[in-house]
Amino acid sequence: MKFKAREIAEILEGTVEGNPDVEISTFARIENGKPGSICFFANPKYEHYVYGCKADIIIVNAGFVPQKPVSATLIRVEDAYAAVAKLLEHVTAQKRSFKRHRGLMSRRHFSTRLGRKVYLGDFSYVGRRTVVGDYTRICENVFIGDDVKIGSRCIIYPGVRIYSGMEIGNDVIIHANAVIGADGFGFAPLEDGTYKKIQHTGNVIICDNVEIGANTTIDKSQIGSTIIGRGVKIDNLCQIAHNVEIGENTVIAAQSGIAGSTKIGKHCVLGGQVGVAGHITIADNTSFGAQSGVLGSVRKEGQAFLGTPAIPYKDYLKSYAIFKRAASEKK
């Protein structure tokens, strides 16, 4: 990878302040910048690093006004954080090669349909009547069951398990050891104190441009579909139960769990270790802070919650101030 400042500015639709011909070959964090590297500055907490940074190029917001001299060439953009994401995507796309590959001991049924330049890694299996779209990469040790539909330009990382009948859209990334389509946790209590398993006959539908973290599990529905909407991002070690529906562009941080038949709206944010009860509805643009326990439905859009049970964020801060004062008075 080698880019000149003017080339980067063209990609990011930004402006160069400094030497337009300075060349970089690697990325670095702002605190570890070195000659030949490019950094970005977006968080005001890191401003002091800008002035001592030895990187050749720094991407900054258009409105940034330096308080001291800066030795690096600056590329000014509307949003530095979004710009570096765009640049990283551009570099990754250049490095990625789309080529047809059938790995050692990989297996696919004769009724399987693989699109153009599909990569099938070593020891992976693709089942009967499964359809895989163009340019999709199925890495090593992946299991894909029968009658699965996978779109184009997807990446299925090693160890992923996709049960039969699941549907995966285009541009989906599923990280290592995720499980898509296991039975939900459904059991009917009997009079003798035992439990009878409820069969799950539905599937999971993952829409376009979704990313699913490592070791995350998404259970198939009892009847109908568990639905992960377009643009949803799910972190590592999350549990999405049967018949859950997650609206588009919602983000869910690590170790969160959503119980069965709950509907999460669009553009919601769930912090780490959030737990959501079953059979409730969450309105669009709702946010939950880390470790919140969501026990009831949220009907009004655009609210933020914290705590267990989760209450409005401002109420939580007031309550916390009272608890803190009471604790200090006891001492």
What tokens appear for 107 in the block?
A: 């297996």
Q: What is the maximum alpha-carbon separation in the chain?
A: 79
Name which of 144, 273, 154, 167 is nearest 228 in CA terms: 167
Distance CA 152, CA 156 (A): 11
Distance CA 99, CA 123 (A): 18
**What is the pTM assigned to this prediction?**
0.85
What tokens appear for 3 in the block?
A: 């880019």
Provide the CA 184 distance to its chain's centre, in angstroms.
22
Residue 299, number of CB atoms within 10 A of its CB: 10
pLDDT of residue 113: 94
Could you give the angle at the alpha carbon of 130 between the alpha carbons of 155 and 197, nearest 5°? 95
- Please, are residues 200 and 221 in contact by the beta-carbon 8 Å criterion? yes
Determine phi and psi for 293, rounding to 5 degrees.
Answer: -115, 110
DSSP lists the bridge partners of residue 213 as none
Name which of 319, 318, 290, 320 is nearest 305 in CA terms: 290
pLDDT of residue 104: 73
For the cut 90, the answer to whether the pLDDT of residue 320 exceeds it is: no
Q: What Å distances lie between residue 76 and 14, 30, 40, 56, CA to CA?
A: 5, 15, 10, 14
Q: What is the pLDDT of residues 163-181, one digit of tens each?
A: 999 999 999 999 999 999 9
SS3 labels along 130-158: CEECCCCEECCCCEECCCCEECCCCEECC
Catalytic annotation, pick one of 101, 242, 267, 279 = 242
Residue 242 bears catalytic tag: yes
Q: What rounded mean pLDDT belongs to the chain?
A: 94
pLDDT of residue 327: 78
Q: What is the pLDDT of residues 197-232, one digit of tens each?
A: 999 999 999 999 999 999 999 999 999 999 999 999
Determine phi and psi for 272, rounding to 5 degrees.
Answer: -60, 140
For the cut 80, the answer to whether the pLDDT of residue 330 exceeds it is: no
Amino acid present at 28: A
pLDDT above 70 covers a percentage of the chain that reads 98
Could you give the angle at the alpha carbon of 48 between the alpha carbons of 70 and 60, nearest 5°? 55
* Mean pLDDT value of segment 6-20: 96
What is the DSSP code (8-state) at residue 122?
T
For the cut 90, the answer to whether the pLDDT of residue 275 exceeds it is: yes
Amino acid present at 60: V
pLDDT of residue 96: 65
Q: What is the pLDDT of residues 95-123, one digit of tens each?
A: 666 667 787 788 888 899 999 999 999 99
Could you give the angle at the alpha carbon of 7 between the alpha carbons of 1 and 5, nearest 5°? 85
* Mean pLDDT value of segment 260-286: 98
Residue 266, number of CB atoms within 10 A of its CB: 18
Distance CA 180, CA 281 (A): 23
What is the DSSP code (8-state) at residue 120?
E
For the cut 80, the answer to whether the pLDDT of residue 93 exceeds it is: no
pLDDT of residue 328: 79
Distance CA 80, CA 78 (A): 7
Domains present along the chain, CATH in parentheses: 3-95 (3.40.1390.10), 101-315 (2.160.10.10)
Model confidence at 283, pLDDT cuts 50, 70, 90, reads: very high
Model confidence at 53, pLDDT cuts 50, 70, 90, reads: very high
- Please, are residues 212 and 252 in contact by the beta-carbon 8 Å criterion? no
